[in-house]
Structure 1
Amino acid sequence: MKNVYLDSAATTQIRDEVISKMTEVMKIYGNPSSTHTFGRTAKSLIENARKAVANYLNVQAKEIVFTSGGTEADNLILNSAVRDLGVKRIITSKIEHHAVLHCVDQLKDCFDVEVAYVNLDENGNVNTSHLKELLENSDQKTIVSLMHVNNEIGNILDLEKVGNLCHEHQALFHSDTVQSIGHYTLDLNELPVDFAAVSAHKFHGPKGIGFAYIKSNSGLKSLIFGGSQERGVRAGTESVHNIVGLEEALKFAYDHLEDDKKYTNSLKNHFIEKLRKEIPGIKFNGMCSDVENSTYTLVNICLPIPADKALMLLFQLDLKGIACSKGSACQSGSDKGSHVLTEILSEEDLNKPSIRFSFSKYNTKEELDYVVEVLKDFIKK
């Protein structure tokens, strides 16, 4: 039995270089808030990492706030926007990550915030005409929260177009960029984005560390109270080795971006071609089969299998050593179907199994051929 990992949208394999760097840094045990030599040494590692991260995104170092990951960053931004910036209205979509959707629900219940959902087309793309309409039809202070790359179907949002639309109507713009930072070059100084959320484990870094991009002088305040770490925006002793691990992972991601992107894109094209050839009746969800308008890192397929047989599919794939997902990893333990696919698929297709396969530079075409053969055998049985 082979072991084939095709769930990189959930989490990526940590680069060996990142592990080595983190192991080295873990020996530097001073508290970065301490003023003695041990503490200052640790503090300098954090600030150097902050400058490096900011440089990759062309922003100021003070605009980078380290967090435990994308979920905390999303929550920090949205909560403070309502609590501290006077936001009374949130515009989002029904296919956002639950780090945004559940946070928005909580804000609606606790702060009586108005929530509006922008329309989507049949492939899950944001209807920017409807977004413009929503922005024009209210004078309440608004934040728009729309992800850059959808984690289930791979659709890519035009950040520039949406951001300009928001700013034309004096609305703030927040984007969950968890699936795009480290995979795409983003100049956040030039793009009309006020806030962004990032997670290191999506680009071959460690879990439990990420950051929020918060545009300078935005007025956002802390979600976690205690010490004055992260310039008072995020209390708690910093995880030095994880922060340096994030920096190292981002460095390797951008140093090798074009080669890794070209290779991974070739895997996706090969996989799509093989699936179409070998499995008649297969459908591709969202925009994922359109290589020009979806991320190169994933494919989400709907298989021509009846519902009763579909119950055993993920189990059978796991028995064959294949790791994949029926949707977001955050949903994999739930009996509920994908909220993303529920919004865009017909009732007939929702009763069929949909699987997300997501790749990285560590995968091979031979692995993908093996997956296609396993799927074919399962469908024929």
Structure 2
Amino acid sequence: MVAYLDYAATAPMHPAAKAALVAAVDQIGNPGSIHTHGQHARRALERARASIAASLGAEPVETILTSGGTESDNTAIQGLWHARNRDAERPRIITTAIEHNAVLDTVAWMRDHHGAEVVIVPVDTTGVIDLDALERELDDRTALVAMLHVNNEIGTVQPVRSVAKLANAAGVPVHIDAVASYGSLPVSLHEWGVTSVAVSAHKVGGPVGIGALALRRGTKLDPLIHGGGQQYGLRSGTQNMAGAVAFGAVAELIADEQWLAEHAARVRERRDRMIEIVRQAVPDATLTGADPDALLNDSGVEVPARVPGNAHFLFPGCQGDSLVYLLDMAGVSVSTGSACHAGIPEASHAVIGCGYQNEQALGALRMTVGEQTSDDELETFAKVLPEAYERARKAGFSYREV
């Protein structure tokens, strides 16, 4: 029996998305064409956009279809920064040290090529942003705040409503990368009070190559991609109708609050079983991020402190990459959640940002589950983990500091 425990990397395609995609790829017509075939494609595209918008707490006119989360982050961060610096000097971008590289590398590129000033706000040991520190940094030279809703490695949920409340009071837009939370927790552009939200379809059972950026109506944004002026001139290029239709089929489920709550409960049950397996096999392993049972008070709204499907552990005395390899050899797919360059593992910047030492961070392992994760897969994981850990521990480790 093999086990796939890497849903945070990409999820298996949902049956509804697969059926919608198969039907849509046979439909002829460019959604930008005025003839009958084109208008049929246009209607299918716009129905999908409406479903995606509803799942994001946004209006269809506020929903830009992209190639995925990375493009959505780039569009929002670069577009907001340039638009905000057109009529005043606002070079500062506020973020945290534990962001996904789609945010961190974009911010760094803006610093190196456009003179942006990067401000890093600290987080606590569970990965939650320091709101007092954020408030101190917000000023009239700030172009935007860019951050994750849920950390893609450790699974901690951020108080996005509280962040937005502080930023709105200072007149600063907020961009939220919700790729790691979408489909597991409620996501809402308007209820959160933020300026933009990025999501990706393949994390929730849609196809790879389609995502969305929810952008509050009236927001000034310089486009990242220029051309035919599609999507209100904010993202030119022929739109991926088939991908959008498949994405929309899953988004329609996510927009149903009852479905989302029941789905999250089933995933949480599997996650808790996975945590129990690790603690029994390796009692010294450290669960990072927020307490799985805790709630976060986000500006008066209680939300889960941790995303339902995530379990991220630090395994003492071994290298996470070794564990990934050994578990893979035993039929179990997991992830370190950190980079590896030229064969030399790097300690996770997200774990380091929470205050752990490099040597501790090197032993990071991320295991993520979904509703399709079976009991047999979890039992396979329980069976092979003890031996894989012992072999990885005997192999030792080396690391490069981040």
TM-score (structure 1 length as normaliser): 0.93
Superposition map of 1:255-270 within 5 A: 255=256, 256-270=259-273
Are 1:191 and 2:192 matched, yes or no? yes
Would the aligned equivalents of 1:326 and 1:332 in 2 still touch at CA under 8 Å?
Answer: no
Amino acid at match of 2:247: L
What is the distance in 2 between the residues matched to 1:257 and 1:10? 20
2:357 equivalent among 339, 347, 352 = 347
Residue aligning to 1:208: 209
Range 248-257 or range 258-267, more displaced: 248-257
| Partner SS, residue 143 of structure 1 | strand
C-alpha distance after superposition, 1:264-320 (max 9, x if no partner): 11111122223223322111112264554111111001113345xx65322111111
Are 1:304 and 2:305 matched, yes or no? no
What is the distance in 2 between the residues matched to 1:348 and 1:55? 42
Superposition map of 1:1-381 within 5 A: 2-86=1-85, 87-135=90-138, 138-255=139-256, 256-287=259-290, 289-290=292-293, 292=295, 293-307=305-319, 312-327=322-337, 335-347=345-357, 349-350=359-360, 352-381=362-391
Amino acid at match of 1:163: A
What is the distance in 1 between the residues matched to 2:33 and 2:188? 34
What is the distance in 2 between the residues matched to 1:351 and 1:297? 21
Runs ≥4 in structure 1, deviation > 6 angstroms? 329-334
What is the distance in 2 between the residues matched to 1:351 and 1:64? 38
Gaps (5+ residues) in structure 2?
A: 296-304, 392-402
CA drift at 1:67? 0.3
Count of residue pairs brought into register by the alignment: 376
Amino acid at match of 1:303: F
C-alpha distance after superposition, 1:221-269 (max 9, x if no partner): 3111110211111011111100011100112334432222111111111
CA drift at 1:75? 0.4
Identity of aligned residues (%): 30
Range 348-357 or range 255-264, more displaced: 348-357
Amino acid at match of 2:202: H
What is the distance in 1 between the residues matched to 2:45 and 2:384? 46
| Partner SS, residue 104 of structure 1 | helix
CA drift at 1:333? 8.2
TM-score (structure 2 length as normaliser): 0.88
Amino acid at match of 1:253: I
When residues 329 and 16 of structure 1 are mapped into structure 2, their CA distance, relative to the original with a 3 A threshold, is farther
What is the distance in 2 between the residues matched to 1:99 and 1:334? 22
Would the aligned equivalents of 1:33 and 1:39 in 2 still touch at CA under 8 Å?
Answer: yes
| Partner SS, residue 232 of structure 1 | coil
What is the distance in 2 between the residues matched to 1:60 and 1:252? 17
What is the distance in 2 between the residues matched to 1:291 and 1:361? 21
Would the aligned equivalents of 2:199 and 2:213 in 1 still touch at CA under 8 Å?
Answer: yes
Would the aligned equivalents of 1:285 and 1:300 in 2 still touch at CA under 8 Å?
Answer: yes
When residues 107 and 352 of structure 1 are mapped into structure 2, their CA distance, relative to the original with a 3 A threshold, is closer
CA drift at 1:324? 0.7
C-alpha distance after superposition, 1:3-49 (max 9, x if no partner): 11111101100012211111111111211111100111111111111
Residue aligning to 2:400: none
What is the distance in 1 between the residues matched to 2:184 and 2:120? 27
What is the distance in 2 between the residues matched to 1:360 and 1:217? 36
What is the distance in 2 between the residues matched to 1:334 and 1:243? 38
Amino acid at match of 1:130: A
Gaps (5+ residues) in structure 1?
A: none
Range 335-344 or range 85-94, more displaced: 335-344
What is the distance in 1 between the residues matched to 2:225 and 2:254? 30
| Partner SS, residue 19 of structure 1 | helix
| Partner SS, residue 237 of structure 1 | coil
C-alpha distance after superposition, 1:149-201 (max 9, x if no partner): 11000010111111001011111111101112222223322221101111001
When residues 24 and 111 of structure 1 are mapped into structure 2, their CA distance, relative to the original with a 3 A threshold, is same
Would the aligned equivalents of 1:151 and 1:328 in 2 still touch at CA under 8 Å?
Answer: no
Range 150-159 or range 121-130, more displaced: 121-130
Would the aligned equivalents of 1:305 and 1:379 in 2 still touch at CA under 8 Å?
Answer: no
| Partner SS, residue 301 of structure 1 | strand
